Amino acid sequence: MAGFSWYLSEGFQVIIEKSKDKKCSLKDVQLRFLCPDDLEEVRSLCRDWFPIEYPQSWYEDITSSDRFFALAAVYKNQIIGLIVAEIKPYLKLNAEDRGILSRWFASKDTLVAYILSLGVVRSHRRSGVATMLLDVLINHLSGPVPQPPHEHRVKAIFLHVLTTNNEAILFYEHKRFLLHSFLPYYYSIKGRCKDGFTYVYYVNGGHAPWSLIDYMKFMARTAWRGGGLYPWLWGKLRAALTIAWHSFTSSSNTVKFRGAVFKQ
Ligand SMILES: CC(C)(COP(=O)(O)OP(=O)(O)OC[C@H]1O[C@@H](n2cnc3c(N)ncnc32)[C@H](O)[C@@H]1OP(=O)(O)O)[C@@H](O)C(=O)NCCC(=O)NCCS
Across-strand partners of 159?
Answer: 199
Mean pLDDT for the stretch of residues 119-128: 97
pLDDT of residue 120: 98
pLDDT of residue 76: 95
Summary mean pLDDT of the chain = 86
Query: Which of these is catalytic: 140, 152, 160, 207?
Result: 160
Q: Is 2 contained in some domain?
A: no
Q: Quote the CA–CA distance of 264 and 255 in Å, as a whole number.
A: 7
Mean pLDDT for the stretch of residues 231-249: 84
Residue nearest atom 17 in ligand 1 by C-alpha distance: 171
Q: Is 15 contained in some domain?
A: yes
Q: Quote the CA–CA distance of 66 and 54 in Å, as a whole number.
A: 19
pLDDT band (50, 70, 90) for residue 114: very high
| Residue 100 and residue 137 share a domain | yes
CATH number at residue 179: 3.40.630.30
Length of the chain: 264
| Residue 168 and residue 235 share a domain | no
Atom of ligand 1 nearest to the CA of 162: 48
| Residue 257 and residue 180 share a domain | no
Mean pLDDT for the stretch of residues 143-161: 93
Query: Which of these is catalytic: 114, 140, 152, 187?
Result: 114
pLDDT(254) > 70 = no
| Residue 143 and residue 246 share a domain | no
| Residue 150 and residue 92 share a domain | yes
pLDDT of residue 229: 66
Domain finish residue from 209, 227, 251: 209
pLDDT of residue 221: 79
Q: Is 160 a catalytic residue?
A: yes
pLDDT(13) > 50 = no
pLDDT of residue 3: 28
Q: Is 48 contained in some domain?
A: yes
Per-residue model confidence as pLDDT tens digits over 78-103: 999 999 999 999 999 999 999 999 98
| Residue 132 and residue 47 share a domain | yes
- Are 108 and 89 spatial neighbours (Cβ–Cβ below 8 Å)? yes
Q: How far is the CA of 68 from the centre of ligand 1 (A)?
A: 22
Which of 82, 78, 67, 75 has the alpha carbon at shortest distance from 34?
A: 82
Q: What is this structure's pTM?
A: 0.78
Residue nearest atom 26 in ligand 1 by C-alpha distance: 170
- Are 45 and 82 spatial neighbours (Cβ–Cβ below 8 Å)? yes
Residue nearest atom 15 in ligand 1 by C-alpha distance: 171
Residue nearest atom 3 in ligand 1 by C-alpha distance: 119
Q: Which amino acids bring their CB within 6 angstroms of ligand 1?
A: 15-16, 18, 49, 118-120, 125-131, 159, 161, 165, 167-168, 170-171, 174
| Residue 141 and residue 78 share a domain | yes
Mean pLDDT for the stretch of residues 127-131: 97
Domains in the chain, number: 2
Provide φ and ψ at 154, rounded to 5°: -80, 120
Q: How far is the CA of 146 from the centre of ligand 1 (A)?
A: 28
Atom of ligand 1 nearest to the CA of 120: 39
pLDDT of residue 262: 47
pLDDT(139) > 60 = yes
Mutation test residue for ligand 1: of 31, 82, 117, 126, the one with most atoms within 8 Å of CB: 126
What is the enclosing helix (H) or strand (E) of 167?
A: helix 166-174
| Residue 252 and residue 201 share a domain | no
| Residue 158 and residue 92 share a domain | yes
Domain finish residue from 172, 191, 209: 209
| Residue 221 and residue 178 share a domain | no
pLDDT band (50, 70, 90) for residue 9: very low
pLDDT band (50, 70, 90) for residue 246: confident
Per-residue model confidence as pLDDT tens digits over 21-43: 456 789 899 999 999 999 999 99
pLDDT(17) > 70 = no
Mean pLDDT for the stretch of residues 40-62: 96
Domain finish residue from 189, 209, 229: 209
- Are 36 and 59 spatial neighbours (Cβ–Cβ below 8 Å)? no
| Residue 251 and residue 205 share a domain | no
- Are 110 and 203 spatial neighbours (Cβ–Cβ below 8 Å)? no
Q: How far is the CA of 169 from the centre of ligand 1 (A)?
A: 8
| Residue 253 and residue 168 share a domain | no
Q: 17-21, 54-58, 64-68 — which is least confidently predicted?
A: 17-21
Q: Is 232 contained in some domain?
A: yes
Q: Is 3 contained in some domain?
A: no
Q: Is 114 a catalytic residue?
A: yes
User: 247 lies in which domain range?
Assistant: 215-263
